[in-house]
Structure 1
Amino acid sequence: MTKKTSSNKGNTRHVVPHPEGWANKKGGSERASSVHNTKREAEVAAREQSKREGSELFVHGKDGQIQRKDSHGNDPRDIKG
């Protein structure tokens, strides 16, 4: 019997390059939630949505590589340090 695991792609938000500027996209989605002229504008919009959704935020560079991550979800409380 195989164990069914759910993907958390839908619980992420991404700022990615777009032909018309920068896109704010939900993980696993084909279409952008919003498109902005600057990366900063897209990041502000994505951060607001990520906070409302309690999701992870990934900010990508022009090359598609992840530059920064931010968690707006359920972080464990027992982290040392």
Structure 2
Amino acid sequence: MYNQAEYEATLLSQGESFTSIELKINFYRPVFGDVLTAKARALQNGKNISHYICEITRNDGKMAAIATGTMMTLRGQKAKGQ
């Protein structure tokens, strides 16, 4: 569960959507019954293509995984219903 005040989804504007071009996850440590914290941010925000990184840490502060993604922004009719 997340705290809405701390949640920032993407750099999308109203009426825009996205599709994933590439998604990669590197796992570094096992997680057993732990609380995870994920912090995501945009690495690069282009007109059509954006790159994001998400760092996932365990309760002890150690990195459990890193996810990176490349997304294509959909606008207008392409974003309808997505």
Q: TM-score range by the shorter chain?
A: under 0.3
Structure whose residues are more often helix by fraction: 1
Mark the structure with the bigger radius of gyration.
2
Greater relative CO (CA pairs within 8 A, separation 6+): 2
TM-score when normalising by structure 1: 0.24
TM-score when normalising by structure 2: 0.24
